[in-house]
Chain A
Amino acid sequence: MNGDSPIISINGVSKQFPGGVQALEGVDLEINEGEFFALLGPSGCGKTTLLRILAGFEIPTTGDVFIDGANMAAVVPNRRPVNMVFQSYAVFPHMTVAENVAYGLKVSGTERRTIPDRVQRALDLVQLGDYGRRKPGQLSGGQAQRVALARALVKEPRVLLLDEPLSALDAKLRETMQMELVRLQDTVGITFVIVTHDQNEALSMADRVAVMDEGRVLQVADPGELYEFPRDRFVAEFIGKMNLFEGTNVGWADGTLALLVNGLGRIELPCAEPTTHDVGIAVRPEKMLLFEQRPDAAYLAFEAEVEKVAYYGSESRVFLATDRGLALEVSIRNHSRATAGEEIAGRRWVSWLPEDTLILPD
């Protein structure tokens, strides 16, 4: 599905706002044709600024943006081969749904008699075929969102930009719309670039995700790699849950790194590269297991006291503390009714496979 030619190239883009706020710092990014690409980060990380630079509403202080091979430096927003779905949807309140969708076609001089057909097709695409004559005031949030989508897609842009498109919807509707956006992108085959602060949204929808913080891109990877192999502490902690420990390096030999971890003691991990500095180590809660007896030597195992269990239905999160006071979080899947009622308490062996440990250089 994904061609490998980049449709968007962002080269060394920085943005400084008047007043001195540095929104972006040396961002390099390539987004491929046909890709569903997510810009993920906490609020204020610069992801929206980057999206607005792609749309042409902000001009980078330095650096270049190429869309479809053309430098966008001197191209005004209304001449770019991109369209945007705004966070507030920005559906024109004084026009009907059909007029909203037709607006982009009219204003860019599309042949008049082809417009009604194209508008109807766009509305059908977002399942609002019968809503053409409604006014935006009569629409629900989800419907207004679809109008915004149809209005952008009817222009057949090379790239569709979506600014936090689902943040205003309630949880159930958000999940439905996530899947619908993916389906829609499959259908139209247009490159989607979505900005979100919601990691679940990014992981479940996107082909590739760029994690941003403080104006920089920290890691660009597909969701699986991002989750299993985060490159630094920020990414590790921002995406999913993570047990993160500091390890003091006590020597590397023959592909094994020996570490002293406060509260755990000495552990040995496979590590291909010779390492001399201290590192952070991280383990996902769902990679950990709880045993009543010490498991076999294949596992790293540490005895700890169960302090609290949080029940989430599909899983339980068990919070433990080792004798030396290190806090651990283990997630246990509720895979059978047979074990669901078992009480988790007392002393357990928190265990995981060495290869599920992530080594995070500082």
Chain B
Amino acid sequence: MKTNRQAPGPLDYGRRLWLRLTLWLSFVFLYAPIAVLVIYSFNDSRRNIVWRGFTLKYYERAWNNESLIQAFANSITIAFFSTVLSVLLGMMTAVLLWRFRFPAKAPFEGTVSLPIIIPEICMGVAMMAFFSRIGWPADLPWPLNLGAITIAHISFSFPFVAMVVRARLARFNRELEEAARDLGAGEWEAFRDVLLPYMKPGLVAGALLAFTLSLDDFVITFFTAGPDTVTFPVKVYSMVRFSVTPEVNAASTVLLVITLMLTTIAVLIQTRGREE
């Protein structure tokens, strides 16, 4: 018997009904809740149940909600400082791991990536216990009162930066650095003029990653936040506890868009760095 049914090629997913179904089901499964969230942020109703027409008034209301905006400002501030310090620390860790051999390097390398693996809830509890044990002052003026959260965010963000940068460094040609030295550059100049430009795509990608991680984080922040240091995700959570209004949807949609944008930029930069 002659069969003309060949095994599907990589781009043939649309040809088979069951493949198409799986594809659509997984899309629905992943994105339907988010789509609903975004759509109902424009819903002209107090409740998130029935569609009653398009409005932007909940975006306006969210904008006028002072404590929500304060939480947003807190989040951005924390994300900014956490990102800057994570990039510095992550870059130094990556260079250290790439360049040097030292005793117990393998365990050290493992420990650095531990914060990525540890359940967030454990990190959160640990951070809370740590800051209360060392008596971290709670009543500092803004923005110093965000210090504890910022430190907590750095501790789980910088390993991501380190991993991204380390992966890039693995392909670095050591002769480039030697060439710079040979041409008269001191160690610092060779680092600045050759290694740093080479790491740049990794640093930018790592920075955006760190920024979104910090902006998004709820669990660890929840444990380290005080009454005056509410971040955007924590604020949204407390709003939901009273009632799920489209205002929450609107705020979440804004956060979603910011996160999405930054992640896309990170991916783009990383791909471009790889193509070079």
Contacts and interface: CB of A to CB of B under 8 A. Distances in A.
A107 B193 contact: yes
Contact of B175 (A77, A88, A152): A88
Contact of B178 (A86, A107, A151): A86
Contacts of A79: 184
Interface stretch (A27-35, A89-97, A258-266, A334-342): A89-97
Interface string A90-110: 101110000000011001100
Interface in B28-70: none
Contact of A92 (B182, B184, B189, B194): B194
A87 B182 CA distance: 14
A57 B186 CA distance: 13
Contacts of B180: 92, 103, 107
A148 B175 CA distance: 12
Interface in A102-147: 103-104, 107-108, 137
Interface string B171-192: 0010110111111111001000
Nearest to B182: A84
A78 B185 contact: yes
B119 interface: no
Contacts of B276: 93, 137
Contacts of A78: 181-186
Most buried by B among A76, A82, A86, A151: A86
A101 B189 CA distance: 16
Contact of A155 (B175, B184, B189): B184
Contacts of B158: none
Contacts of B178: 55, 57, 77, 84, 86, 90
Interface in B173-217: 173, 175-176, 178-186, 189, 193-194, 197-198
A74 to B, nearest CB: 15
Interface residues of A, number: 25
Nearest to A154: B183
B232 to A, nearest CB: 37
A107 B185 CA distance: 6
Interface residues of B, number: 18
Interface centre among B179, B186, B197 (most CB of A within 10 A): B179
Secondary structure at chain B's binding surface: helix, strand, loop or mixed?
helix
Which secondary structure dominates chain A's binding surface?
mixed
A107 B189 contact: yes
Contacts of A87: 175
A144 to B, nearest CB: 12
A90 B197 CA distance: 14
A290 to B, nearest CB: 49
B175 A90 contact: yes
Given A78-B186, A103-B193, A107-B189, A90 B179 contact: yes
Given A90-B178, A103-B193, A108 B173 contact: no
Contacts of A57: 178, 181
A65 to B, nearest CB: 16
Nearest to A88: B175
A107 B180 CA distance: 9
B250 to A, nearest CB: 43
Nearest to A83: B182
A155 to B, nearest CB: 7
Nearest to A163: B175
Contacts of A88: 173, 175
Contacts of B194: 92
A12 to B, nearest CB: 25
A90 B198 CA distance: 13
Contacts of B197: 92, 94
A146 to B, nearest CB: 15
Given A94-B197, A137-B276, A104 B175 contact: no
Among A76, A84, A137, the one with the most B-chain Cβ atoms within 10 Å of its Cβ is A84
Contacts of B179: 84, 86, 90, 92, 148, 151
15 contacts: A55-B182, A76-B181, A78-B184, A78-B185, A79-B184, A83-B182, A84-B178, A84-B182, A90-B175, A90-B176, A92-B197, A94-B197, A107-B189, A107-B193, A108-B184
Given A92-B194, A93-B198, A104-B183, 12 more contacts: A57-B178, A83-B182, A83-B183, A88-B173, A90-B178, A92-B176, A92-B180, A92-B193, A107-B185, A137-B276, A148-B179, A155-B183
5 residue pairs, one from A and one from B, having the closest CB atoms: A104-B183, A108-B184, A90-B179, A90-B175, A86-B175
